Each structure stands twice: as structure tokens, then as C-alpha cells.
Structure 1
Amino acid sequence: MTKQRADAGDEELLNAVGPAFGKLRRSSLLEVENPISQKDLGRTLVLNVVLELAQDGTREVTVGGVGAHLGTDPSVASRMVSDCISAGYLVRAASQQDGRRTVLHLSPGGEELMARFRRHQRSAFEYVTADWSDRDRLDFARLMLKYVASQDSLRHRAG
């Protein structure tokens, strides 16, 4: 099967995807009931990375790992992690593999913030898609998860 050349309308649609992704995080999460503060929204970036990196259970999460995952300078990652620790969302612990290294874990407060953030994300999705059919909402959710899985698989191939 060969790819057909996209027509001008398709090209325009495909060119609009990038800017649309840029708007996602900046908009609807602040408009639903009981919004998460701007400061805590930023902290969820770090907490999400810690959760993602720790997900397979074989990897210890370090400040350097958070920085690499976010694509930030080590000093920026260190400040972001320190802020999450000061807010009570992350804790440092000694590595079980190398006692000289410090690893990161979510605190109970961090786990609660992430649970609240997940509920908030779901509310935002429902708010934005309130006038969509159930079929469109589920199709979009499946395709978004497929997109993210493809992006993750590219990251793992490159790393």
C-alpha cells in the first residue's frame, strides 16, 4: 500500500497539529472547577516524570534522570526537584544500588497531588468534550494514547 499525497486541506490540517498540542496544557486545565494552582501545575511535570521513570521498578530516579527526561539543564532540574521537595511532594532517599547516590520518591502529599491532578485532567477532558458524542470522545482518547505510546517507543529506540 502506498501513501497518497495529502491534498491542500489535509496539509493545512496536519500543519495545525503542532500548534494545537502547544495549546493543550495552557488552557482547559485552568478553567474547570477546583483548579490546581499554577505553581502545582508546574510541579506535576516533575512528579509525572518521577512516576514514569519509576514505573518499571528497575530504575532509580535521580535529579539527573528527571533533567534528561525533561530536556533541561541539570541546574534547572535541580531547582525544580528542590521546589517539589520543599513543597512536600518529593522525598530524597539513599540509593539501594549505590549508597553515594540520592534517589527521588513521591511523598504521600505528592501521591495525593497526582491523584487530584488526574481527577482534574479527567474533568478538563470532560469539560472540553462535553458536546462530543461518546464515540468521538472514546476515539480521540484511544488515538491520543496511541500517539503517546508511539512517542515513547521512539524515545526508547533513540535512548
Structure 2
Amino acid sequence: MTQDDRTPDELLDAIGPAFGKLRRGVLQEVEDPISTKDSTRALLLDMVLGCPQSPGRESHDRGQEMTVGGIAAGMCVDPSVASRMVTDSIKAGYLRRVPSQLDGRRAVLELSEQGLEFMRTFRRRQRAAYEYITAEWPERDRLEFARLMLRYVDAIDDLRNRRPPADA
């Protein structure tokens, strides 16, 4: 049975397992494989880079800085695991701890120039992997899937706007 032969319910039921496959190392199966370690580092660095207080980011929500605790929460891992991941990225030269601009007693995380270059390279490799995986798709389908995936991710980001405030 192909995707086109599935009922709407069958398609929607297949989404969860499909996302599971995406998380199980698909980027190791492409022409220029991306290691698990690089994928994990990129996930961590992307969280720091995506934080509104990161250098080079305009913030409409000042007051957010990325900490080891924020990494742990965002990755749904124990703080000790997040701490080891952060330490690994610091030792690799991709990340540094700096004093908070909001509370000088705390340390926050920011990417080094080497970390920014790592992310530029990683994103080029992700695009190459996407193009390799979808090489036999019509261009229209490749672009439509990319557009819909970005829309999906934006909807995930907007979930916090749908929740009532904690103090309501």
C-alpha cells in the first residue's frame, strides 16, 4: 500500500511512527552521513542559537537567556545529562559560558564563532541530505513538503501562545 492508497485515518495514524523514523538516525543513511554526535551537538547549539538573547538575534521577548537548565527542559533530559552535553560542546570550542546580562551571578550559554561555523556547515549538510532523500520527487513536491514542514514547526512554536497564562 502506498501513501496515496491510504485513508485519511491511516495517513494520520502513520504520522507518529514516521516521526519516530526521522529521529532514528536518518541523516546517517545519506550520501554524506551526519554522525549522531554532530546531530546531538547541533540540536543543543540550535537551542542556544534560537534563544532570543543569542548574539545576532533580534528579540521581541527580552529576558530570556539559555542556561543548562533550559537545555535540560528543552531536550527533556536530566540536568546532569544536559550539563555533560554542554561541557562537551564547550570542550569542542562550539559553546561558551558567559555572565548573564540580567543577573551577573548566573552563567548563560552562547555560541562561539566556531559554533556558529559548525551550525552553518551542519545546515548545509541537512539541506544536502534533504535533497538527496527527495531526489526522485518532483520539485513541486519537494518544495511543498518543505513549506508544510516549516508550517508544522511554526505551529509547534505557537503552542505556547494557545495555552492560558499560568497565573490565569
Check whether TM > 0.5.
yes
TM-score normalised to structure 2 length = 0.82
Give the residue type in structure 2 aligned to 1:67: A
1:128 equivalenced with 2:133 (yes/no) = yes
Partner of 2:11: 13
Give the residue type in structure 1 aligned to 2:84: R
In the alignment, structure 2 segments of 5+ residues that lack a partner are 1-5
Partner of 2:3: none
TM-score normalised to structure 1 length = 0.86
Give the residue type in structure 1 aligned to 2:37: K
Give the residue type in structure 2 aligned to 1:12: E
Cα deviation code 1:32-82 (max 9, x no counterpart): 344333212211111011111234532221111111111222222111111
- 1:132 aligned counterpart, secondary structure: coil
- Mapped to 1, the partners of 2:8 and 2:88 lie a distance apart of 44
1:22 equivalenced with 2:20 (yes/no) = yes
Give the residue type in structure 1 aligned to 2:24: R
1:28–1:124: 8 Å Cα contact kept in structure 2? Answer: no
1:35 equivalenced with 2:40 (yes/no) = no
In the alignment, structure 1 segments of 5+ residues that lack a partner are 1-7
- Mapped to 2, the partners of 1:156 and 1:108 lie a distance apart of 33
Give the residue type in structure 2 aligned to 1:41: S
1:29–1:120: 8 Å Cα contact kept in structure 2? Answer: no
Q: Which has the larger share of helix? A: 1
2:30–2:133: 8 Å Cα contact kept in structure 1? Answer: no
Q: CA RMSD in A?
A: 1.8
- Measured after TM superposition, the shift of residue 156 of structure 1 is 4.4
Cα deviation code 1:4-44 (max 9, x no counterpart): xxxx8221111111111111143431233443332122111
Aligned residues: 152
What is the percent sequence identity of the aligned residues?
A: 59
1:67–1:74: 8 Å Cα contact kept in structure 2? Answer: yes
- Mapped to 2, the partners of 1:108 and 1:117 lie a distance apart of 14
Higher RCO (CA < 8 A, seq sep 6+): 1
Which of 66, 74, 79 is the equivalent residue of 1:74? Answer: 79
- Mapped to 1, the partners of 2:121 and 2:33 lie a distance apart of 10
- 1:45 aligned counterpart, secondary structure: helix
1:62 equivalenced with 2:67 (yes/no) = yes
Which of 28, 46, 69 is the equivalent residue of 1:48? Answer: 46
2:31–2:132: 8 Å Cα contact kept in structure 1? Answer: no
Partner of 1:152: 157
